[in-house]
Amino acid sequence: MNFKDLEIIQPIMKAVTKAGYSKATPIQYKTIPYILNGNDVIGCAQTGTGKTASFAIPILQLLTQNKATVKQGIRALILTPTRELAIQISDNFETYGQYLPISYLAIFGGVSQVNQVSQLRKGVDVLIATPGRLQDLINQGCIDLRTLEIFVLDEADRMLDMGFVNDVKKILKKIPSKRQSLLFSATMPSEIRSFAHSFLINPVEINVTPISSTAKSINQSVCFVEKAEKLNLLISILEKHSIKRSLIFSRTKHGADKLVKQLMKQGIQAAAIHGNKSQNARQNALENFKNNRIRVLIATDIAARGIDIDELSHVVNYELPNVPETYVHRIGRTGRAGNNGTAISFCDNEQKKDLKSIQKLIGFKIPEYTLTT
């Protein structure tokens, strides 16, 4: 469906066209009309399906069409679990809203709050925040959410997983009860659905793909390999497929750092992003990866959540995740926006039970890796 059939206002249409989008994706054309209509929405969509635009575009439109009730104040809040996602969402708002007089700010921990606070003082219409920093700044009296019109909980499953549930509950108490609420998640376990129903009013539920399914555009395979052989296997895969850019998932921060050292020793440029790295180091690693200065980015789940990297051809699970939904998120970093992708998972003896639960969740047996994969 074309964006213009969704009755998107001209300044946003112009920005969307400039971004090169011709058609709305399923989550976009199914969700946008309800959001524009003022409904609460639960959106369940795979990663890489255009989920961010499905809320950013109608929010921009609603904020433009509805006059602010007070002159200054935060009108929309997007809560998201990680710093990278906060930045990414704010970049999306900037792209789609470039012809609108609406201001955005992403706030997150790990960096000084000084700039964030001075931006807030100037006035912000759309605030994109991680829960910890938001709570901090609310407690310091730098943020007042009484003017809020729209609240978005992004990556809700992960948010609750990462122990943010109490923060989210506290934040919910500080926003007006008369508001529009939207909840997005790639997976929808039953506890998320019941949490969602506790703060959404008559939500319209939109599922664009079967729950927890993985994108068809991703060629998945599994390699049964002993721990000691993983490094050699990884190097040979990187070489055999002449992989220009791959994202490798490690379960631990220590494991990620160790793998970087081992690959660098073999002359393969690599960097790690995880929770112990400073925000600057994380952004640098990501920039170097996007600019092809490093071929391999090694990430733990926390750091890699939701990251959008164009032309990421390969994801490798150096270790399988022990939470099956995480597998769906990890491999969803590739095969995005109509491109094809490859996801190769290493499975040692101890992880066979994890593989079983993943296969149960995605509803099929992942084929074994072969040389032609």
Per-residue b/e over 12-22, b at no fewer than 16 CB within 10 Å?
bbebbeeeebe
Residues 6+ positions from 159 with CB-CB distance below 8 Å = 79, 80, 81, 131, 153, 165, 168
Q: Establish if 48 lies at the interface with ligand AMP (CB under 6 A).
A: yes
Site for ligand AMP in 92-131 (CB under 6 A): none
When the beta carbons of 81 and 120 are compared against ligand AMP, the nearer one is 81
CB of 27 to ligand AMP, least distance (A): 8
Q: Could you write out the DSSP letters of every residue in 240-300?
A: HTT-S-EEEE-SSHHHHHHHHHHHHHTT--EEEE-TTS-HHHHHHHHHHHHTTS-SEEEE-
Should residue 337 be labelled a site residue for ligand AMP when binding is judged by CB under 6 A?
yes
Nearer to ligand AMP, 125 or 308 (CB): 308
Residue with tokens 């921990």: 109
| DSSP per position, 88-148 | HHHHHHHHHTTTS---EEEE-SSS-SHHHHHHHHH--SEEEE-HHHHHHHHHTT----TT-
The answer to whether residue 282 forms part of the interface with ligand AMP (CB under 6 A) is no
Number of residues this chain uses to bind ligand AMP (CB under 6 A): 14
Sorted by sequence, the CB contacts under 8 Å of residue 196 that are 6+ apart come out as 42, 153, 156, 183, 203
Does 1 participate in binding ligand AMP (rule CB under 6 A)?
A: no
Q: Are 299 and 273 in contact (CB under 8 A)?
A: yes
Least distance (Å) from ligand AMP to the CB of residue 310?
7
Q: CA 194, 195, 199: angle at the middle one, nearest 5? A: 110
Question: Which residue from 31, 43, 23 is spatially nearest to 207, judged by alpha carbons?
Answer: 43
CB distance 126 to 63 below 8 Å: yes
Is residue 327 a contact point for ligand AMP (CB under 6 A)? no
For residues 37 and 202, the answer to whether their CB atoms sit within 8 Å is: no
CB of 214 to ligand AMP, least distance (A): 14
Interacting residue with ligand AMP among 51, 158, 305, 333 (CB under 6 A): 51
Coarse DSSP helix, strand, coil percentages of the chain, rounded to the nearest 5 percent: 45, 15, 40
Which of 8, 25, 161, 203: binder of ligand AMP (CB under 6 A)? 25
Dig out the tokens for 334 from the structure: 């590739």
User: Which of 53, 105, 137, 347: binder of ligand AMP (CB under 6 A)?
Assistant: 53
CB of 210 to ligand AMP, least distance (A): 17
Q: Confirm or reject binding of residue 81 to ligand AMP (CB under 6 A).
A: no
With contact defined as beta carbons under 8 Å apart, do 185 and 157 qualify? Answer: yes
49 binds ligand AMP (CB under 6 A): yes
336: contact with ligand AMP by CB under 6 A: yes
Told to check if 335 binds ligand AMP by CB under 6 A, we report no
Q: Which stretch binds ligand AMP (CB under 6 A): 49-57, 107-115, 238-246, 281-289?
A: 49-57
Interface residue with ligand AMP, options 125, 161, 308, 325 (CB under 6 A): 308
Single out the segment in contact with ligand AMP by CB under 6 A; choices: 44-52, 75-83, 192-200, 293-301: 44-52
The whole-angstrom separation of Cα 29 and Cα 208 is 10
Q: Which residue lies nearer to ligand AMP by CB, 46 or 317?
A: 46
Stretch that binds ligand AMP, among 45-53, 200-208, 262-270, 275-283 (CB under 6 A): 45-53
CB neighbours (10 Å) of residue 283?
16
* Nearest distance, CB of residue 337 and ligand AMP, angstroms: 4
Query: Is 351 near ligand AMP (CB under 6 A)?
Result: no
Footprint on residues 148-207 left by ligand AMP (CB under 6 A): none
- Segment interacting with ligand AMP (CB under 6 A) among 18-26, 162-170, 195-203, 311-319: 18-26
Say which amino acid occupies 339. Answer: N
Nearer to ligand AMP, 100 or 309 (CB): 309
Q: Is 21 in the site for ligand AMP (CB under 6 A)?
A: yes
Binding site for ligand AMP (CB under 6 A): 21, 24-25, 28, 47-53, 308, 336-337
